[in-house]
Amino acid sequence: MSPLFTPIRLGELELANRIVVAPMCQYSADEGCATDWHLMHLGQMAISGAGLLILEATAITADGRITPQDLGLWNDANEQALRRVLRGVRQHSPMPIGIQLSHAGRKASSRAPWDGGALLLPADGGWDCVAPSPIPHGSGEPAPVQLDAAGLQRIRQGFVDAAQRAVRLGLDLIELHAAHGYLLHQFLSPLSNQRTDAYGGSLDNRMRFVLEVFDAVRGTVPARVPVGVRLSATDWVDGGWDPEQSVALCAALRQRGCAFAHVSSGGVSPLQRISVGPGYQVGLAEHIRRHVDMPVVAVGLITEAEQAEAVIADGRADLVALARAMLYDPRWPWHAAARLGAQTVAPPQYWRCQPAAHKALFGATRVGQR
């Protein structure tokens, strides 16, 4: 059997294979509310044959959005809009669906990537950003507002409230976004966190807020819903967050019942220097997996079936996540199964598309087929 297409459990959730559709921001929401674009986009991803689909970074407060068009889950209207989309998707797909909960911190209030991605000032329709410390992300940007005790409590509660909404929506998994330079990552990295209170300075202090948010979310959702964390394992900047600190964080999270670590990198500093190439982040996932007994998801320029198969077969990670490769080829898991001699699932409307050389791709021949 193909290692990539073997089942795996994350907590109490069983996945049919090791392929994850990674969260991919669509910048297509209306005041945080999912739209018909999300129904189209998620509909494609949900019939892809992957083992798990994770919804894009979803803001837990209005000021936590990366852009004004970000998906959100901070009020009843957001919840109702997402319920409509999920209802449509689930009519035609049994795939487990998770959600990534996020606050953008000092990287909030930005223009969409196709509009340049620059900071959007309040005078132009943006808002004031918050962060662990009053240090702007980019030169020339105004300093964000440093979060005080009340601000920290507001954001902790925002994660809890969004997690409760996710449970009401019947989502199967929750991923906390502590990567890519967003708020939770900002607390971890000494480049963005220069506080002198209990949330800054030492590694334990810088991890404190992330662990508090995890504990609050894990404590509010049912045991059947796995809660994991996406992290940037390195800032790619000297003196920043690094793989050894990531191991310490993952060990602390695992003790608290963290179901998985989704390992990415970078995003907190424009000074980062990354050597990008096929599977360039897999070694980071492997490092954490070697030192912490928890399932690890590898991501980053994993584009070929044989490449993904080798990551799993060689024990470098437990799952692989694809983002841009899935946008380019929404049937990537079908094609991977065909190349690896495995089987996957597809809606019956598409059963007839199996090439002659792969007649068992979608399982045994159905009764009555001719």
For residue 32, which amino acid is it? G
H-type alpha helices, the chain = 36-46, 76-90, 149-168, 183-188, 203-218, 243-255, 282-291, 305-313, 324-328, 332-340
pLDDT digits (tens, 9 = 90+) for 340-370: 999 999 999 999 998 888 888 997 433 333 3
| Count of Cβ atoms closer than 10 Å to residue 51 Cβ | 26
Predicted pLDDT at 340: 96
Could you give phi then psi for residue 174, rounded to 5 degrees? -125, 130
Q: What pairs with residue 145 in β-bridges?
A: 130
In the beta sheet, which residues pair with residue 173?
98
Q: Can you give the pLDDT at residue 356?
A: 85
Instruction: Give the pLDDT confidence of 151-196 residue by residue, as tens digits.
Output: 999 999 999 999 999 999 999 999 999 999 999 999 999 999 999 9
Q: For 95-152, how does the pLDDT look when each residue is reduced to its tens digit (9 = 90+)?
A: 999 999 999 999 999 999 999 999 999 999 999 999 999 999 998 999 999 999 999 9
> Domains of the chain: which residue ranges?
3-358
pLDDT at 1 over 90: no
C-beta separation of 110 from 187 below 8 A: no
Looking at this protein, which amino acid is placed at residue 234? T
Q: List the one residue out of 162, 10, 7, 36 whose CA is nearest residue 99.
A: 162
Once rounded to an integer, what is the mean pLDDT over residues 200-213? 98
| pTM score, whole prediction | 0.95
Give 257-314 pLDDT, tens digit per residue: 999 999 999 999 999 999 899 999 999 999 999 999 999 999 999 999 999 999 999 9
- Mean pLDDT lowest for which of 92-101, 245-254, 326-335, 346-355? 346-355
Quote the CA–CA distance of 350 and 362 in Å, as a whole number.
9
User: Given 27, 182, 280, 328, which residue is catalytic?
Assistant: 182
Kindly report the CATH class assigned to 3-358. Answer: alpha beta
**Alpha carbon distance 147, 157 (integer Å):** 14
pLDDT at 45: 98
182 in active site: yes
